[in-house]
A = this chain, B = another copy of it.
Amino acid sequence: MVFYIIGLGLADERDITVKGLEAVKRSQRVYLEAYTSLLLVPKEKLEEFYGKEVIVADREMVEMEADSILEGAEEGDVSFLVVGDPFGATTHTDLELRARGWGIPVKVIHNASIMNAVGACGLQLYRFGEAVSIVFFTDSWRPDSFYDRIAANRRAGLHTLCLLDIKVKEPSLESLARGKKVYEPPRFMSVGTALSQLLEVEEVRGGGAYGPDTLCVGVARIGSDSQRIVAGSMQQLLDVDFGPPLHSLVIAGDTHPIELEYLEQFMVGRQREAEGGSSAATGVVPPS
């Protein structure tokens, strides 16, 4: 009857909305999109919570077998789960348009995504300019189109959210050359890697868009009890261990007093830096 596209939020199985959970419970089949982001709990945890099987839909399945996902949706509900909010990535619009083309009603159930939850760092959302993506550099591929965007944001006094690369189930180049796909282990870019790539690009470009002294905020596992937020200069944050994925980075623009007051608790060297989701002491010792 309905094809649901449901945002799961950011951290665990209980971040789904009541409306979303009701839809899942009604569904004959439940898919989990698992290549543009990931939840901080395994699929089994979702299955236990829902009391039903969850089918992991990787990139190939969504792109090549979209019809099988929508199959039977005329007779019973089908749910497609997406980490964060359904509109965080472009990849679902194709599935949605296909469903509509088949005459299947589509309902979208929203949730938090890093695009709004990053407000937890204390920088005001309406003071953010365009967001950028930072991908893993390789020996031969070092795309730096983010540089001009960060520069434009900084000139306008705006903050920049940097979305850091996620590689889930990517075939290795070597295996592609051999004609048989073998998948690389998942990789998630850390705040440290992002910062070193950023500083390398500034070194090459020399445009002064930012530098080692630029105020940044690194965030990890937003919305979970182990959430970690640390603010400091690029140089200072290079050596901070943010722990397990997912990480994101904000490059600050001009800051207002109320933003600085809030950021204060997260500054490098403050004992209370790891808070936000929870203010309980986390035992994390800030770098000296």
Contact = CB atoms under 8 A, between A and B. Distances in A.
A218 interface: no
Contact of A125 (B7, B97, B131, B272): B131
A25 to B, nearest CB: 12
A280 interface: yes
Contacts of A17: 9, 14-18, 111
Given A17-B9, A108-B277, A125 B87 contact: yes
A106 B16 CA distance: 21
Interface stretch (A60-68, A114-122, A239-247): A114-122
Contacts of A158: 129-130
Contact of A18 (B18, B105, B109, B122): B18
Interface stretch (A31-39, A197-205, A258-266): A258-266
How many copies of this protein are present in the complex? 2
Interface in A214-242: 222-223
A113 B111 contact: no
Nearest to A262: B93
Contact of A113 (B19, B97, B116): B116
Interface string A252-271: 00000010011001000000
Interface of A: 7, 9-10, 12-19, 21-22, 85-88, 90, 93, 97, 100, 104-113, 115-117, 119-120, 122, 124-133, 152, 156, 158, 163, 222-223, 258, 261-262, 265, 272, 275-280
Given A15-B17, A278-B105, A88 B130 contact: no
A104 to B, nearest CB: 8
B119 A9 contact: no
Given A222-B110, A261-B97, A18 B16 contact: yes
Nearest to A21: B18
A222 B126 CA distance: 19
A108 B91 CA distance: 29
A162 to B, nearest CB: 11
A123 to B, nearest CB: 9
B105 A110 contact: no
B115 A116 contact: yes
A242 to B, nearest CB: 18
